[in-house]
Each structure stands twice: as C-alpha cells, then as structure tokens.
C-alpha cells in the first residue's frame, strides 16, 4: 500500500502526526475504489455515507456531462433554471406531504444551519422572541459553529466550545429511558423553545444509535402540541439508508423543516436542500425587505449538481433503487444475525441498509486508540470500514453484492478475534 506523504493537503478529521499518509485513489466503480498503485478497496461506508447507488452510476455521470455542456453556474437570486425548478417540484412530490418549499444550499452542515435560521426567522417575523434550540443527546448535525452547537459536545469541538451556543439537550430515547426523553422535550418546549432538531431513527456520527419510529412520532407530537418546530436532519438517513426513501416515512410524520444532502445527488456532487411548509415560507413574506430570508451560498442550486440529483430521482423512480435497497436490507439482516449471540460484541443493531455493532473491549469513545487500529486492520485487507471508536458499522452503496458483504463480515469476525480485550 503506497501512501502519499509530504503533501500540503490538510485532511479532515485526521491527526497527521499519527496518520501521516493517505491512500491515493485514481478510479472508482460500483463499490470499489482503485488505488494508483493498483490496490483495491471495498467501499463499505459509501465514502463517508454519500454514495448511494454506487460509484460512477452511468445515468448520473451522463446527466452531469450533458448539463455541463449547457449551463455551468449562474446567480440564483433573480434568475433560475430548469434543473432547479424540476428538482424542486419533484422533491415536493416525493417528500412527506406538506413540505412545499425548497431552499437550496451545498452541504449537510449548511442545510441544517439554514434550518436553524429559518426557525429563528419564523419566530422573529411572527413577533415572538424564541431562539432556544432543543437537541438530542449524541446528535451530530455538522461542523459549522451553529451545527456544532446543536450537536453533542465531544473532543471534536472542545477547542471551539467558547463560541458554541447553549442548547437544551434531551436524553436519547434508549429502551427504558423513553419517558425521560419525552418529559425533557416537553419541558424544553414549554419553556418556549424555537425548534427541536433531530436525526430521525438513527444518530449517525453519535455511534449509529437506533431508536424506534414510535418514539420519533411521539417526539414530533410533543413538538406539535407545544407549537415548537420539528426539524428533521435527514442528511444521512435520506435516500434509502433506513430502508424507506426517508426515515420520517416510517413514523408517518411530516417535519416542519427537513434537511437533505448526502444522497441527494447519489452522493456524486455537493448539493443540499432545506424544505419547509407554507407557514414558515409565509412568515418571511412581506413588503418589508427586512423580513426576507437572508441566506445564500455562492453555489446555490448549481445546475450541474441539480442535474445529478434529477438523475438520482429517476433511479429512485424507475432505475431499481427501491428493489436494490430492499435486497440490501434483507442481506444485511441475514448477516448481522449471527453476531447477536456473540459475546465479543455488544449492542448488535440494524436499521434498513445499515448495521452496527460494538466490540466488547475496554476503552470506549471515538478517540480510543482501538479506532485507529481497527481502521488500519481493515485497510490492510482492502476494506474501507471506518469504525467510530469501537463501533464497527457497515453502510454500503446499494449495489453491493452478497459475496462482497461476506468479505466484510468475515473481516469483522477476524477483527473481534484480533482485538479481543
């Protein structure tokens, strides 16, 4: 495995003193990354949760090429274009009923930041001073100041703590702790919160922690009863990961504001949307310019990214995505089952296409050195698995084949033997 070192590149979430090198990838196809030196890696985490159907899915590649020939980038205030218009109409159609407006941006962090700003603008324009955000313990919503504030405090954001705003944090609805969670949410709502921000059904970066659809529904009900906006961060869960197109579908709820990013373009280009209902849009509608929604990204609704997203929606509509997801859910269920009674693992879980399990070793937490050791162990076997501390999870592109999944679970079994306490 040849590594790139002596590079001016500063990589994300990387301690360069411990991980000085990076593997140089030249090409990707389906579930595989091909390194410059010929090595191959099975991309079992969808290149950090973005690639949904597989790398270089031809329909998406084609749409990008065709769009690039026509229109590259234009200002999106006062001007529009067909890819953005079509995509917005189609997103309104396929997302939960009532999400009727689409605000474009370009990353998961940004679309959640936009959601928080929408919520605050909504209350201010209605003449109420509500600014408190409620969030779930262990949540993750991005790496900007606003989204770090909303997310869990951890070693990742300790340096920035002085700038982070305080939020009302409520317990994760673990089995047996649901009531504690609901009571805390109810109390925060009654204290006049502006919005509750949560990842529906599964907290990703917090350690792939799963909770039930009925708990999600109850949290939404509590917000609704108290007139507090419910913001669903579907950045990771959106576009099939949880087995349905969107996680909120499983609870039969419509969030007041929904955030989608990662899988929106099939994971190929950066694009994000924040969607909301008429009430929130209308609160910003006025002949007073000061009540407008003040947010813009330079690349708002980039036409090429919108074209990729339209091709992605076509794959969902008639390109076999639903079938691929159903097949993957079944294959994952079958493979994770044998670890349930394996005492080397704890908290063995699955939600839709995602499986996760924790190595039953001491030294918990993301920075526990076992995380890096595991990463190296898997990389050396040509597998891109990137454990969160001692939580190993499999979150693959939907095109993964049964034999490829078998490789992953065999390596997880081997890792358990190798890293046993």
Ligand X SMILES: *Cc1c(COP(=O)(O)O)cnc(C)c1O
Catalytic residue annotation: 13, 140, 233, 262
Q: Return the biggest CA–CA distance within the chain.
A: 67
Residue 261 in contact with ligand X, rule: CB under 6 A: yes
* Nearest CA among 321, 209, 227 for reference residue 266: 321
- Comparing CB distances to ligand X, the nearer of 121 and 206 is 206
Residue 140 in contact with ligand X, rule: CB under 6 A: yes
Near ligand X by CB under 6 A, which window of 1-9, 102-110, 121-129, 316-324? 102-110
Residue 231 in contact with ligand X, rule: CB under 6 A: no
Owner of token pair 């529906």: 200
Residue 260 in contact with ligand X, rule: CB under 6 A: no
From the DSSP assignment, how many helices (H) and strands (E) are in the chain? 13, 18
**Quick one: which H or E segment has residue 274?**
strand 272-276
- Comparing CB distances to ligand X, the nearer of 117 and 124 is 117
Q: What are the residue ranges of helices labelled H in 339-390?
A: 370-380
Residue 274 in contact with ligand X, rule: CB under 6 A: no
Task: Identify the residue among 107, 250, 274, 353 touching ligand X (CB under 6 A).
Answer: 107
Residue 142 in contact with ligand X, rule: CB under 6 A: yes
Distance in Å, CB of 134 to ligand X, minimum = 16
User: What three-state secondary structure class fits 261?
Assistant: coil
Q: How far apart are CA 11 and CA 316, in angstroms?
A: 33
Residue 233 in contact with ligand X, rule: CB under 6 A: yes
Near ligand X by CB under 6 A, which window of 33-41, 63-71, 211-219, 230-238? 230-238
Q: How far apart are CA 221 and CA 218, in angstroms?
A: 5
Residue 316 in contact with ligand X, rule: CB under 6 A: no
User: Would you state the structure tokens that stand for residue 28, as one six-digit string?
Assistant: 């990707």
Residue 358 in contact with ligand X, rule: CB under 6 A: no
- Comparing CB distances to ligand X, the nearer of 141 and 350 is 141
Q: Is-contact 153 220, C-beta < 8 A?
A: no
Residue 113 in contact with ligand X, rule: CB under 6 A: no
Distance in Å, CB of 141 to ligand X, minimum = 5
Order of strands, sheet of 32-35, starting from the edge strand that comes earlier in the sequence: 25-29, 32-35, 40-43, 383-384
Give how far Cα 225 sits from Cα of 123, 135, 171, 182, Å: 17, 17, 20, 12
- Comparing CB distances to ligand X, the nearer of 140 and 211 is 140
Q: Is-contact 262 108, C-beta < 8 A?
A: yes
- Comparing CB distances to ligand X, the nearer of 10 and 79 is 10
Q: Is-contact 46 395, C-beta < 8 A?
A: yes
- Comparing CB distances to ligand X, the nearer of 107 and 300 is 107
71 to 90: interface string for ligand X, x by CB under 6 A: --------------------
Residue 204 in contact with ligand X, rule: CB under 6 A: yes
Strand partners, 75: none
Task: Identify the residue among 113, 199, 256, 404 touching ligand X (CB under 6 A).
Answer: 199
Q: What are the residue ranges of helices labelled H in 138-261?
A: 145-150, 178-190, 213-225, 248-251
Binding site for ligand X (CB under 6 A): 107-109, 112, 140-142, 199, 204-205, 233, 235-236, 261
């Amino acid at each position: 495995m040849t590594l790139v070192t002596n590079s001016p590149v500063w990589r994300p979430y990387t301690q360069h003193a411990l991980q000085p090198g990076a593997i140089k990838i030249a090409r990707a196809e389906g579930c595989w990354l091909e390194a410059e030196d010929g090595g191959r890696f099975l991309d079992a985490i969808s290149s950090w949760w973005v690639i949904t159907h597989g790398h270089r899915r031809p329909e998406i590649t084609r749409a990008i090429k065709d769009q690039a020939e026509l229109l590259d980038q234009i200002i999106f205030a006062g001007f529009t274009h067909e890819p953005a218009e079509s995509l917005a109409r189609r997103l309104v159609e396929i997302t939960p009923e009532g999400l009727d407006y689409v605000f474009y941006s370009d990353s998961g962090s940004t679309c959640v930041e936009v959601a928080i700003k929408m919520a605050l603008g909504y209350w201010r324009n209605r003449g109420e001073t509500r600014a408190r955000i409620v969030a779930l313990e262990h949540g993750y919503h991005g790496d900007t100041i606003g989204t770090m504030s909303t997310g869990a405090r951890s070693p990742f954001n300790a340096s920035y703590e002085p700038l982070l705003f305080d939020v009302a944090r409520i317990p994760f609805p673990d089995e047996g702790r649901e009531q504690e969670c609901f009571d805390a949410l109810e109390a925060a709502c009654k204290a006049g919160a502006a919005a509750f921000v949560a990842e529906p059904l599964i907290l990703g970066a917090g350690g792939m922690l799963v909770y039930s659809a009925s708990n999600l529904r109850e949290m939404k009900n509590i917000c609704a009863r108290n007139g507090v906006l419910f913001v669903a961060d579907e950045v990771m869960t959106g576009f099939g990961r949880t087995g349905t197109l969107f996680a909120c579908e499983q609870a039969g709820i419509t969030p007041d504001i929904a955030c989608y990013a990662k899988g929106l373009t099939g994971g190929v280009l950066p694009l994000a949307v924040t969607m909301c209902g008429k009430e929130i849009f209308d609160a910003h509608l006025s002949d007073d310019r000061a009540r407008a929604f003040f947010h813009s990204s330079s690349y708002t609704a980039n036409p090429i990214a919108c074209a990729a997203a339209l091709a992605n929606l076509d794959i969902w509509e008639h390109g076999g995505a639903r079938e691929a997801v159903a097949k993957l859910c079944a294959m994952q269920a079958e493979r994770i089952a044998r670890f349930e009674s394996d005492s080397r693992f704890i908290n063995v879980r699955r939600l839709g296409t995602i499986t996760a399990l924790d190595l039953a070793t001491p030294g918990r937490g993301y920075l526990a050195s076992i995380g890096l050791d595991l990463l190296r162990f898997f990389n050396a076997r040509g597998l891109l698995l990137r454990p969160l501390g001692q939580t190993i999870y499999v979150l693959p592109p939907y095109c993964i084949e049964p034999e490829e999944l078998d490789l992953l679970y065999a390596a997880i079994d081997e890792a358990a033997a190798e890293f046993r306490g």
